[in-house]
Amino acid sequence: MFKPVPLFIGLRYFALGGRNNRLVSFISLLAMGGLVLGVGLLIVVLSVMNGFDRELRERILSVVPHVQLIHSEGVSEWQQQAALLAEQPSVTEVTPYAEVNGLIHFRNNSRPIQLLGLSPASIPAGIDAVLAEASVTIPGDNQLLLSEVVASALNVEVGQRITVILPGAEGATRAVSLTVAGLFATHTEMDQVFALGSLQQVAALAGLDGLAQGFRVQIDDQFNARNQGYALLETLPYGYGFRDWFQTHGNLYQAIQLSRNMVGLLIFMIIAIAAFNVISMLMMSVMDKRRDIAILQTLGLSRPEIVRLFLTQGALIGLFGIAVGVIFGVLGCYWVADFVAWMESLFGVTFLSTEIYPIDYIPVDMRLADIVSVAGAAVVLNLLATLYPALRASRMVPAEELRYE
């Protein structure tokens, strides 16, 4: 029958800690601090990595097409073919487009540019949201919209004219003067080269005589883009090719997953180190309380009860540290974005730039499953760490410990 005596003594040891031994008390605080730090950081890191994954799927892939169908000679009757594509059960959005790459030049400053042409009557939902946020629309002839990053790099303002240098036939180049009609920001890496114009104008600049270059297609299953691309080709006339987002941004997705796993593993090692600190603390506690253990055994406490006593002490230390770590981790998830923004404004630096990172802000996607798995793994490690010291304590022989008392 279970007796509560080991539980009460374990609670007392936990409450008093190493009051009579400062080293034991210090190691106990170190073990709890390691658990708090490891659990809290791991929850924050996993939430931030989840946020990057979410932003890739919801923000970046709302601006980048899942499948890009390209016709080598342009599409004249694109309305009929767009309607044919829209009938496919996996397709959620079809947008005709034209695209041309070149250089943008303003007052001795130049940058590469990717000019995307869209029809005002057919704008992808992701880009439409970006334009609505900036309060701009698809411009008319001889105009374009620039990303705020490009405009800032060139020091150009709305209403000024810039020069777009485009490749021509047989290695020649041609220059076109356009007016900046407005600025926008996707807050993604696309801001480094992105510009928008009308479908007819960009198609003409691309040498397609006003024809659409192809279609930007969004599908319901982003991770099945490759197979859906081949399936969509079968519904269209000859002359089309395609590329999917795996070809343009697949390396970004792989980098996010790899970073999530590697950083998570490294921080998980902090929890493991904290668990080893629990072993050290309990072993020193056992050595410090040898006389108490021997007396308890002579009073009738059995070996299993001695094991439960130190398991209780170690488990309480671990649970306290893990609980505080979870609280700090959850609060950190709510404050990390504001904290980074405050640090940027305080020191005048930019920690996240779209020149390096896919987005320019800290995304956070806190998930209950991650919190439970982190806390559960920490509890298991802590219990395993307390098992050996508890077994060592139960093997003490009272006669040897009390021989000289």
What is the per-residue pLDDT across 266-286, written as a single tens digit (0 to 9) for each?
777 777 777 777 777 777 766
Q: CATH number for the domain including 195? A: 2.40.70
Average pLDDT over residues 369-379: 87
Residue 135's pLDDT is 92
Q: Residue 163 — very low, low, confident or very high, per pLDDT cuts 50/70/90?
A: very high
**Residues 45, 263: contact at Cβ < 8 Å?**
yes
**Residues 126, 63: contact at Cβ < 8 Å?**
yes
Domain membership of residue 235 (yes or no) is no
Domain membership of residue 232 (yes or no) is no
**105 and 50 inside one domain:** no
Cα separation, 86 vs 106, in Å, equals: 40
Whether the predicted pLDDT of 231 surpasses 70? yes
pLDDT tens, position by position, 244-257: 988 888 787 787 77
Whether the predicted pLDDT of 1 surpasses 50? no
DSSP string, 149-197: HHHHHHT--TT-EEEEEEE-GGG-EEEEEEEEEEEE--SBGGGGTEEEE
Cα separation, 64 vs 85, in Å, equals: 18
**376 and 264 inside one domain:** yes
Domain membership of residue 226 (yes or no) is no
Q: Which domain holds residue 53?
A: 5-59+253-401
Distances (CA, A) of 1 to 4, 5, 273, 305, 346: 10, 12, 36, 11, 62
Cα separation, 49 vs 257, in Å, equals: 8
User: ∠ CA 200-202-206 to the nearest 5 degrees?
Assistant: 115
Computed over every residue of the chain, the mean pLDDT equals 82
**How long, in residues, is the chain?**
405
pLDDT tens, position by position, 108-120: 888 999 999 998 8
**174 and 308 inside one domain:** no
Distances (CA, A) of 251 to 91, 97, 246: 24, 24, 7
Could you tell me what percent of the chain has a pLDDT over 70?
Answer: 86
Q: What pTM was computed for the model?
A: 0.77
**296 and 186 inside one domain:** no
**Residues 147, 185: contact at Cβ < 8 Å?**
yes
**Residues 40, 329: contact at Cβ < 8 Å?**
yes
Domain membership of residue 280 (yes or no) is yes
How many domains, in total, are found in the chain?
Answer: 2
Q: How far is CA 128 from the centre of its chain?
A: 24
pLDDT tens, position by position, 29-75: 777 788 888 888 889 988 988 888 888 888 888 888 999 999 878 88
**177 and 279 inside one domain:** no
Question: Please, which residues bridge with residue 267 across strands?
Answer: none
Domain membership of residue 389 (yes or no) is yes
Which letter does DSSP use for residue 136 in this model?
-
Comparing 240-244, 332-336, 357-361, 396-400, the range with the smallest average pLDDT is 396-400
